[in-house]
């Protein structure tokens, strides 16, 4: 089966996007390109922790390394800054996890010196090993996340200051319209990109059996485990941890069903 035939599996399929509102548009465009119909149902909401960020900014010294692990963290940093972010970070070596985080920094006239590829904490470890370990790192990140990088750097006698720049919470909006759509079998598949999203999806729907009505498609085996713990039956796990891969695998799933 070629790519065009595989993507045809999403034609006219109603796909539920559960990412935060700020991250909906790009994924919706990817679904439309494959012939699907995206529906927005955010199950994550960003809460900037501005006081934390300002404390982190006040810690900065010339020569420090500064790390951002998501575009969300970059945008929250920008909101908290009392002067232009590129001036705040002018004397620091700035690192980004992945191309999207790097692009968010460039929007603020900050060119990252290091870009982790693959976009993960393991990718960062490899990046720092090649470019030189930081003496002192100010790490702006989500409240929840892996501690792998911090543990590695501390083992190598690096000072690490972890700043919780934002947290992801469950939105409180009314879910009755989506509940009715699920009950009417109007949604063909739901995309779940994180363990937290899986939990919040079931929480927002309020009924695991109803939440389980569409095909459950997840970004990784870790997300699959979290979804199953919430009572969801997972039909599609992305072969590679990306939404491109997830949509391709979902399209193939539907093609094989037809």
Do 47-169 and 3-44+172-257 fall under one CATH topology?
A: yes
Cβ–Cβ contacts within 10 Å for residue 224, how many? 22
Q: What tens digit of pLDDT does each residue of 164-198 get?
A: 999 989 998 899 999 999 999 999 999 999 999 99
Average confidence score pLDDT of the chain: 92
Q: What tens digit of pLDDT does each residue of 214-254 get?
A: 999 999 999 999 999 999 999 999 998 889 999 999 999 99
- Rg, C-alpha atoms of the chain: 20
CATH code that applies to domain 3-44+172-257? 3.40.50.10090
Does 7 score more than 70 pLDDT?
Answer: no
Among 3.40.50.10090, 3.40.30.10, 3.30.70.120, 1.20.140.10, name the CATH number for the domain at 47-169: 3.40.50.10090
Q: What's the rounded Cα separation, in Å, for the pair 249 and 191? A: 12
Cβ–Cβ contacts within 10 Å for residue 85, how many? 20
- The pLDDT value recorded for residue 5 is 54
Domain ranges (residues) in the chain: 3-44+172-257, 47-169
């Amino acid at each position: 089966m070629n790519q065009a035939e595989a993507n045809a599996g999403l034609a006219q399929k109603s796909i539920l996007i559960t990412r935060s509102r700020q991250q909906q548009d790009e994924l919706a465009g990817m679904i439309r390109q494959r012939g699907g119909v995206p529906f927005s149902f955010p199950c994550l909401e960003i809460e900037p922790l501005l006081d934390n960020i300002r404390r982190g900014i006040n810690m900065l010294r010339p020569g420090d390394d500064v790390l951002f692990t998501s575009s969300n963290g970059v945008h929250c940093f920008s909101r908290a800054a009392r002067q232009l972010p590129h001036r705040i970070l002018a004397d620091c070596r700035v690192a980004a996890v992945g191309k999207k985080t790097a692009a968010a920094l460039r929007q603020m006239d900050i060119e990252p010196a290091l870009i982790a590829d693959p976009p993960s904490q393991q990718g960062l470890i490899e990046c720092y090993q090649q470019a030189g370990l930081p003496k002192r790192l100010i790490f702006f990140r989500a409240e929840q996340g892996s501690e792998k990088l911090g543990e590695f750097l501390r083992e190598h006698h690096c000072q690490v200051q972890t700043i919780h720049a934002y947290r992801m919470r469950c939105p409180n909006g009314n879910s009755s319209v989506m509940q009715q759509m699920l009950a009417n079998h109007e949604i063909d598949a739901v995309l779940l990109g994180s363990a937290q999203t899986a939990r919040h999806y079931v929480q927002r729907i309020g009924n695991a059996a109803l939440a389980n009505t569409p095909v459950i498609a997840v970004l990784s085996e870790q997300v699959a485990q979290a979804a199953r713990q919430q009572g969801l039956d997972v039909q599609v796990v992305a072969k590679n941890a990306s939404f491109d891969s997830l949509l391709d695998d979902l399209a193939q799933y539907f093609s094989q069903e037809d």
